[in-house]
Amino acid sequence: MQAQTHPLEPFFQQAVRNSYEGKLGLNDPDVTAYVARLLCEFSESDKLYKVRDEMGRPIEELTEMVEASDPVHGSAPSFDAERALRKHIGDYALFVAGMYPEAMGSSRRLRRHQPSLGELIQAGKESYYIVSQFNLFEYEQEAPLFARLSDRFERCILGLTLVREELGPRKPLMLPPQVN
């Protein structure tokens, strides 16, 4: 039985392929497919803010997401939960840096700290690297993909910036509001 695809997936597959392969020369079908699925997932704003605190409230701060992912000192109840949180942090950092760079300096929300591009890159690369280290049993097949995403993180951001330019509009975009 074939998995159900998101209705926007063919559109995003083509847009990401045009930018990654056509403009950047990044010929990695697995990375292209992963980033296109990421765009589909984050087209629903509740997926962008799926990391929750102990009270069930969405965590929007990058540093709080990273802290929550620690299974020893944070709130991740297991190493599998750490992997899932780190995957989300990598996805979030890639998406925000590539598709919504205005959010890094936005005053739209009253946040304690807006992550810089450097902080997003560091958190994203580190998170994908950690996910790649889960390379046994059920994670063995996809671990190399996350190693490549970590190694090519900046190029993936540039590719998403090119996707954004291709999609338009030319005015600054804002992150969607959180869904409680």
Predicted pLDDT of residue 14: 96
Predicted pLDDT of residue 178: 60
179 assigned to some structural domain: no
19 assigned to some structural domain: yes
175 assigned to some structural domain: no
3 assigned to some structural domain: no
Q: Are 52 and 77 in contact (CB under 8 A)?
A: no
Backbone angles phi, psi at 52, to 5 degrees: -120, 150
Token pair, residue 88, equals 């989300």
Query: Which residues, other chains included, contact 156 with Cβ-Cβ below 8 Å and sequence gap of 6+?
Result: 20, 26, 31, 35, 94, 98, 149
176 assigned to some structural domain: no
Predicted pLDDT of residue 74: 78
134 assigned to some structural domain: yes
28 assigned to some structural domain: yes
Bridge partners of 52? 58
Say what the pTM is.
Answer: 0.87
Predicted pLDDT of residue 89: 97
- Domain range spanning residue 26? 9-167
Predicted pLDDT of residue 122: 97
Predicted pLDDT of residue 154: 98
d(CA 171, CA 164): 11
173 assigned to some structural domain: no
Q: Which residues of the chain are under the pLDDT cut of 70?
A: 1-4, 105-113, 169-180
d(CA 118, CA 28): 25
d(CA 117, CA 23): 22
Structural domain count, the chain:
1
Predicted pLDDT of residue 23: 95
